[in-house]
Amino acid sequence: MVQAIKTLSDQVRQGDRRALAKAITLVESTRDDHRQQTVELLETLIPDASNSIRIGISGAPGVGKSTFIEVLGSHLIQLGHSVAVLAVDPSSAVTGGSILGDKTRMENLAFTEKAFVRPSPAGSTLGGVTRRTRESMLLCEAAGFDIILVETVGVGQSEMAVADMTDMFLLLLLPAGGDELQGIKRGIMELADLILVNKADGDQVALAARTTSDYRSAVQFLASRFDGWQTPVMSCSSINDEGIIEAWAQVDAFNKILSETGQLQQNRANQAKSWMWSEMAESLVADLKDDERVKALIPEMENAVLRGELPATVAAQRTIDLYKNSN
């Protein structure tokens, strides 16, 4: 098995996309033996990771994220970059199955030699960002991709999750006015390092211009996440390929400022520390659920909470106490 992991890691380093897909499948697995293999793989590849720009891209369904990413990715490849897209795919609330439609929606990019598109089921993780997306980013970096784009489902609290694992958070918005403008949550606006009003084409050009102006006024009253950077607001049209190069120029400027001031390195260090605690918390919960005595107690505690006989806090504490005493 050690030799198999070494072979896989060597293939990933060589940029073998099939090996990269296999490695990501491994890190997404919940099997105990696969988790151990994942640890060995990451330990081997970590020296080759981190040399990339990590960009989170979010926006409401229908805003045109996939089209934007395909056009942006094509431009980046022409500029000499290699692009990995980790598109977190929404899971069905009924079946739990993943729609996995992003690869279909990015046909041109998915089959380009310098690109790698990987849809991943969101599962039950907060906001649709998979628990293993962080590890998948490291694998893509080890494979030589210098631009990592993480697309989220754009609902719930996924924006916070993706902002916490990337260098820059890009928010795509639709041309809107009046009440629709008021509907954008302040918290999401504060996360954004770049705001793009997409679909500025056809009969929406004028509306997009007004929307862009309104958001420019709004962001002036919001605190920036990083010193020396004020969130730009621009319009673009992915379909007409307008404003995309200008948007990338802002990403370049952002990366330069943060690199020169040390904020990029500090942000990544803070993220790594946060990932460590997140991983420990999720692993401990998984171990707790696998404990045989806890498994036997859980139905009783859940029913007591459902019937109103026990506060949730008390039921949780009793379960944790049992787990502690059994280990």
Give me the residue spans of the domains in the chain: 1-48, 49-260, 275-325
Mean predicted confidence (pLDDT) in 251-267: 96
Q: Which of 230, 154, 258 is nearest to 198 (CA)?
A: 154
Average pLDDT, the chain: 86
If pLDDT is split at 50, 70 and 90, which confidence band does 206 have?
very high
CB atoms within 10 A of CB 39: 13
At residue 183, the pLDDT reads 55
CATH of domain 1-48: 1.20.5.170
Q: Which CATH architecture has domain 49-260?
A: 3-Layer(aba) Sandwich (3.40)
At residue 9, the pLDDT reads 93
CA dihedral (251, 257, 262, 266) positive or negative: negative
DSSP state of 118: E
Mean predicted confidence (pLDDT) in 225-236: 95
If pLDDT is split at 50, 70 and 90, which confidence band does 95 have?
very low
pLDDT at 30 over 60: yes
If pLDDT is split at 50, 70 and 90, which confidence band does 97 have?
very low
Q: What is the pTM of this model?
A: 0.87
pLDDT at 127 over 60: no
Question: Which backbone phi and psi does 79 adopt, to 5 degrees?
Answer: -85, 0
pLDDT at 129 over 60: no
Quick check: helix, strand or coil at residue 88? strand
Q: Which of 247, 175, 243, 245 is nearest to 206 (CA)?
A: 175
Mean predicted confidence (pLDDT) in 95-111: 60
Tens digits of residue pLDDT in 148-173: 999 886 655 677 888 889 999 999 99
* 179 vs 243, residue with greater confidence: 243
If pLDDT is split at 50, 70 and 90, which confidence band does 98 have?
very low
